[in-house]
Amino acid sequence: MAAEKSPIKICITGGAGQIAYSLLLEIASGKVFGLDQPVILHLLDIEPCMEKLNGVVMELEDLALSLVRGVVATADPLKAFADVDVALLLGAFPRLKGMERKDLLAKNNDIFRVTGKAIDSVAKKTVKVVVVGNPCNTNALTCMKNAPSIPKENFTCLTRLDQNRAKSQLAGKLGVSVSQISNVIIWGNHSGTQFPDARHASVTMNGAPESLTKVLSDDAWIKSDFITTVQQRGAAVIKARGLSSAMSAAKAIGDHTRDWWFGTKEGEFTSMGVISDGSYNIPAGIIYSFPVTIDAGGKWHIVQNLKQDDFATEKMVATYNELKEEATAAADLAAAAN
């Protein structure tokens, strides 16, 4: 009989929020880290949310799941990130009505500077960090810069939700299951400038993978409605339900983290916001969503040599330019704070 695995520690910020509420069951039930992997959950939120967070702890206890070996609920980042293996950063300052983007960047710059420093001080040096709170690419960059003892490759941001949205749109258009769609790409920023790219995607038909664009044969839709639908999906959800995506966001976080933990399937890649290294002529040093493969050891690799046409290049540069502006603004804020 195999020896039981030692528990891993997972920190979730924004622990009292609606995304965490959906995500916690995914993790606690073994869907993310495995059915044989015990977990200790560290839940972080701000002091005014402690009563609500304690209610979440009660529910975790009432689930009576054998994989949950402990729960820590705290408003102290140093306690929350202590010795953690994975940090899922859901918490961020929301964009309020009338707030300019620069104000949102300023609020979150403060939050993620503190977060990065806490991770640098007390988390494991091998910690895997997934930033979800928006603007997630630039928040991840800020967090990374404030945790210099952690490898840059250990900081990622979530674009898997956009990828899942894109797969769903393509499957619906083709009248197939989403499980038949693979290798859809999200390039760039998790924002309205992102570039959902189906040109390298495959669809499995009659048991064999085929070029999705050839099967679909609708280039006009691929270059117009498909892109704008994915880009604007988050806003459409907010308009319809009065709240941002939670259930689908939690599922995407689980997908992202599971692939990072176990690796991607042979022949498939996924989209993650990672530190740029000059690939595809995107200058090094920003968190940009690329197609990546992930090996069994958890190391990601940007997929190389995917052909780009003028249309794709224009879209990829446009989303880079937005990220560059955000990164410059964040650097200015950091300089002013020091």
Q: Tokens 């197609």 sit at which residue?
A: 291
What's the token pair of residue 141? 């960059």
Interstrand relation of 39-44 and 68-74 (parallel, antiparallel or unpaired): parallel
Q: Which residues, including other chains, have CB under 8 Å from residue 173's CB and lie 6 or more apart?
A: 216, 218, 221, 226
As a whole number of angstroms, the distance between CA 159 and CA 194 comes to 9
CB atoms within 10 A of CB 5: 12
Q: 57, 8, 64: which is closest to 33 by C-alpha?
A: 8
* Amino acid symbol at 109: N
**Catalytic residue chosen out of the listed positions 42, 190, 200, 256:** 190
Q: Give dist(CA 178, CA 163) in Å, integer.
A: 11
| Collapsed DSSP state (helix, strand, coil) of residue 261 | helix
Residue 47 CB partners (closer than 8 Å, separation 6+): 75
As a whole number of angstroms, the distance between CA 320 and CA 187 comes to 9
DSSP state of 84: -
Cα separation, 228 vs 232, in Å, equals 6
The kind and range of the H/E element at 321 are helix 310-337
Residue 263 sits at the vertex; the CA angle it makes with 182 and 121, to the nearest 5 degrees, is: 125
R_g of the chain, CA atoms, integer Å: 20
Is 190 a catalytic site residue?
yes
**In angstroms, rounded to a whole number, what is the distance separating the alpha carbons of residues 226 and 162?**
12
What share of residues in the chain are helix, strand, coil (percent, to 5)?
Answer: 45, 20, 35
| Residue 264 CB neighbour total at 10 angstroms | 18
Give the catalytic positions in this structure: 190
